[in-house]
Amino acid sequence: MNMIGDVFLVMGCAAIAIGGLGLLRMPDVYNRLQAGTKTVTMGAMAVLLGIALHHPDWWSKLLVIAGFILFTNPVGSSTVARAARISGIRPWRARQEKEAD
Amino acid sequence: MNLSILLTIAVVLLIVGMGFSAIRLFLGPTVPDRVAAADTLAVITTVGLVGLAAWFDNPVYLDVALVYGALAFVGTVAIARAIEGDRE
């Protein structure tokens, strides 16, 4: 059981590191929001599952934290994307096409 | 508190993710970049607090992680609304 929990922890932390790399390397605000939100949400779920396998008597609080991350992270991401769109930031591909014209 | 090899790899990967998000937070060209990086950094910090609860074997850190996540979400939505409002 502890070994399975360790594997889930490494998987989740690898997903979090890849999400951070995408946040650093992507060319645009919207692409960065995609990379930073979805990958990190999945990594957080894997880490919480691994810790729940390590400590089975903490499952209620871990479930509350997991549900909270699952509910609030997409809402925050879409709010930031809407704010970026309203404040006038164009998507990256549109900017490339405009420069090509 | 010596860690096994897999847990050491996990902690190093978590710190690498936090470092990447912090670099984007420092050099993001626009304000929504910085807000997105701060949001991601807050989620990674919540996960790290849960990891600290498992490391120190103390369930108080789970409450700290939950309150930190709630306050970071409120801050992200407030800053996003402020960015959105100064155009109109």
| The total number of structural domains that make up chain B | 1
* pTM across the whole model: 0.88
Which residues are within 8 A (CB) of B79 and not within 5 positions of it... i.e. 6 or more apart?
B35, B38
Q: Which residue of B has its CA nearest to A88?
A: B87
A15, A46 Cβ separation under 8 angstroms: yes
Give tens-digit pLDDT for A44-97: 999 999 999 988 888 899 999 999 999 999 999 999 998 888 887 777 765 566
Reported ipTM: 0.86
Q: Is the dihedral of CA B77, A39, A45, B44 positive or negative?
A: negative
Among the listed residues B57, B53, B85, the one whose alpha carbon sits nearest the alpha carbon of residue B66: B53
Residue span of the structural domain in which B16 resides: 5-85
Which letter does DSSP use for residue A56 in this model?
G
**Of A18, A40, A83, which has the smallest distance from its Cβ to B43's Cβ?**
A40
Q: Per-domain residue ranges for chain A?
A: 2-100
Q: How many CB pairs under 8 A join A and B?
A: 165
Among the listed residues B35, B37, B31, B34, the one whose alpha carbon sits nearest the alpha carbon of residue B19: B37
Give tens-digit pLDDT for B19-53: 999 999 998 788 889 999 999 999 999 999 999 99
